[in-house]
Amino acid sequence: MQPAAQTVARGVESIRTSLVPAEGMSTSLVVAAVVVALAGLVLLVIELRRAREAPRMLVVSTGVLAALTLVLAVMRPHKLRAREINVAPRVVVLVDRSRSMALSSTADPEGRPRIDVAQEVVEKLRKGPFGRVDVFALGATSGVREHAGGGTPLSRADGAASDVASAIRALGDRHDDPPAAIIVVSDGRIEVGDVAERKIGPTLHAVAVGEASPPDAAIRAVRFAGTAVAHQALPLQIEVACTGGLPCGDLTVTVRELRERDPEGKPSSDVLVTGTATIKDGSALIELPVTLERAGTRALEISVGAPKGDAIPENDRRLLSIDVARERVRVLHIAGRPTYDVRALRTWLKSDAAIDVVSFFILRTPGDEVNAPDDELALIPFPVRELFTEHLHTFDAVLFQDFDAEPYGLTPHLPAIAQYVKKGGGLVHVGGPNAFSAGGYAASPLASVTPVEMPRLESSQQAADSLAFVPNATAVAKGAPILAELESILGDELPEFQGTSLLGDVRGGGIALWTHPKRTTATGRPMPVLAIGDVGDGRSIALGLDSTRVLAFSQFAAKSGGRAYDALWRGLLGWLMRDPRYEPVRGRLVHASGTGPCLAGAPAALRVEASPVVGAARLRASIGPLEAPRAKDGESLPKELDEKIDGAPPILVPLAKETITGVAPDGGFALRMSIGEPDDQTLVPAALATRALSTCERGGDEWADPRPDRGKLETIAKVNGGVVVSPGDLGSIPAPKAAVVSIERNLAPILPGWAWAAIAAVALGVHWFVRRRGGLA
């Protein structure tokens, strides 16, 4: 915008002279004087009609003169001399910068994007007969932002539909001179609010960019009712549409779940369901049930096989991030002989109505002599094959407690269990005489999904330490939500536990929460006895202790009424199930403004919510694609972040870093976030860590329906006294009238006030004399 002085200088100057009442004169007083004078004249006329011999012309003329001088005596007229200029009216142009404006304009001979056509319209309006033209950009954020002109890169688009009502109100809140007219340049895909119902500002015109839809097949909308619950079918209502004359018949719709890349870096996904949408009258609604086996944030891709001629392939798929909850946690508890610790854990699992537990205990080993045929025994055989080939995916977590894999035929199924964890399952390995290395797991695939190394022991070496000890809580454990409830009950005090399995160092990505006070690993580090870690899409816990029952049944437990045992296992299982209460940090990708979802081609930010337990901390995060990158020029996200946060949710972390644009590509992303002390210089494994999935669509809702909506523009223009024109018919927009501004004003009395009073008195005296001579009272 230009300064006021420059704006005034562009007007046409003129001088105006006029008569006005005295400064400060009350309008009501002037009106009263006029009324009195007119009333006197009316009475005079009535009297003259009765007195036929009176000199009527002389009486009437002196009466009018007396009435006029009376009014002038009251008004005390002044002479006003004003220098004025006619200022060109201010016209505000609101350019729609939402994502739909990046689509091509079918009305344009060159098929340019609508935003390029809008830019050309703006340049023509600047050169037209509209005087002062100020251009503002509309976008996802409420209100407007000034636009200096020039190029209009797509990366600057806000993404969500533009809000015209908020923009007009925002213009009214600015301290600029109010516009005489507003011109909206848009394809009609805007939010209009109450502008379509009543006039809320100046005259509003519109320029309709885009007259028809390009040929396109698209996933227009994906809807589902209620909450997604693990292990339960979720009906997805998918609306598929074909517009712009594209011939469509039966189209295949596919729903995939995007997962984190496998250890070799290859994209991983599962096809959940496929269906056929039969297009009738341009659209079809198909319902496909999907069952998500894991809780937490899941990433889904819904795609349609578009026919040839589809002009917008980007809207052939939609990406969703769905938060999956659990109605009940299904736990498979596999244990060795029913020791006190095994019984305590099974009792706790069975006591919680939110946990559905399937338990198997080993009451007879293959070496036991029972002196009876197997078919006469009441005990059922352990259903190894059925569990690990048919039903494993239906469990949320598998608990191995003091269980030897080899004698019971479990060894061939360990690869399936490891794959189950990597795909989102939970694993808890609890210590005992037959756990970890002693159970034959050190060289098995299960070792790769355990957060600690399992030392390979010679037959002469011990696999466990039976000496009692009190674990040391690591620095990370003292700020971990997973142990916050236990810490609130016990403080810094931990009981004495009866021995532990021998474990090695934590694996990459693993975190030690408790360590042994005396024993060390082969590398000389304190030996972990409680460790947690993310493994692929799942989570894993290693608990070397086999006497956690002392938190429930012991003299130490009596101090807290046995509540510490519940707090420990509730925290471990809650963290394993990704319960938000036990996550140290939660995050997702959003638009850089913080007001909408992440959109490919637009600036992005990481929205972080840290647990209240954490407080001021250092955030480290990695961002990796779930599938092959679909990035365009100028689109890049940082692979690593290192920021200090204060724990006050939510925190918006910008992703633009030096040579990194922070503009999101299209696709799903895995976020790995860790929390440490504000000045901690150690690596990510020495911090609380969590994982989340997030998605960024290329067009979002704005591209799902590419049809322009001229009717909406016509509605708001009609209500607000304007017109709607095409880009080639800008001359049909009426130019507003110029505004008149006074730059100099000189006010001077024609006569002093006493002179006007004297003249009025003389005029009244003359009129009285004439009346008397004519025989009037």
pLDDT in tens, 38-61: 887 777 777 767 666 667 787 788
pLDDT score, position 206:
93
Local confidence band at 154 (pLDDT 50, 70, 90 cut-offs) = very low
pLDDT score, position 150:
42
pLDDT score, position 645:
77
pLDDT score, position 62:
82
Tokens of 716: 């708001």
Cα(589)–Cα(467) distance, rounded to whole angstroms? 49
Cα(673)–Cα(585) distance, rounded to whole angstroms? 7
Cα(322)–Cα(309) distance, rounded to whole angstroms? 32
CB-count burial class (<10 Å; 0-12, 13-18, 19+) for 191: middle
Lowest mean pLDDT among 306-315, 369-378, 395-404: 369-378
Average pLDDT over residues 260-270: 68
pLDDT in tens, 613-651: 666 778 888 898 888 777 888 888 888 888 887 766 788
pLDDT score, position 317:
93
DSSP 8-state code for residue 171 = H
The DSSP-derived string for 131-146 is: SEEEEEEE-SSSS-EE
Cα(216)–Cα(295) distance, rounded to whole angstroms? 35
CB-count burial class (<10 Å; 0-12, 13-18, 19+) for 657: middle
Question: Quick check: 370 and 577 in contact, CB under 8 A?
Answer: no
DSSP 8-state code for residue 408 = G
At 374, give phi and psi (nearest 5°): -60, -35
Lowest mean pLDDT among 106-110, 248-252, 525-529, 584-588: 106-110
CB atoms inside a 10 Å sphere around CB 126: 15
Question: Quick check: 100 and 701 in contact, CB under 8 A?
Answer: no
Tell me the residue length of the chain: 777
* Bridge partners, residue 645, by sequence: 617
pLDDT score, position 694:
92
Question: Percent of the chain, pLDDT > 70?
Answer: 85
pLDDT score, position 681:
46
At 671, give phi and psi (nearest 5°): -105, 125
Nearest by Cα to 576 from 524, 511, 532, 510: 532
- 229 pLDDT higher than 60: yes
- 686 pLDDT higher than 50: no
- 481 pLDDT higher than 80: yes
pLDDT score, position 751:
83
pLDDT score, position 770:
78
Lowest mean pLDDT among 69-73, 169-173, 593-597, 614-618: 614-618
Longest dimension (CA), the chain: 156
- What one-letter code names the amino acid at 307? P
pLDDT in tens, 322-341: 988 888 899 999 888 788 89
Tokens of 495: 């009981």
pLDDT in tens, 288-309: 999 988 888 889 999 999 899 9
β-pairing verdict for 604-610 and 651-654: antiparallel
**88-to-2, 12, 82, 741, 744 alpha-carbon distances in Å:** 13, 9, 19, 10, 19
Nearest by Cα to 640 from 658, 655, 627, 626: 655
Buried b (16+ CB within 10 A) or exposed e, 548-584: bbbbbebeebeebeebbbbbbbbbbbbbbbbbeebbb
Local confidence band at 420 (pLDDT 50, 70, 90 cut-offs) = very high
Average pLDDT over residues 457-469: 78
User: Can you list the alpha helix ranges (DSSP code H) found in 76-222?
Assistant: 114-127, 164-173
State the pTM of this model. 0.74
Q: pLDDT averaged over the chain?
A: 82
- 672 pLDDT higher than 90: no
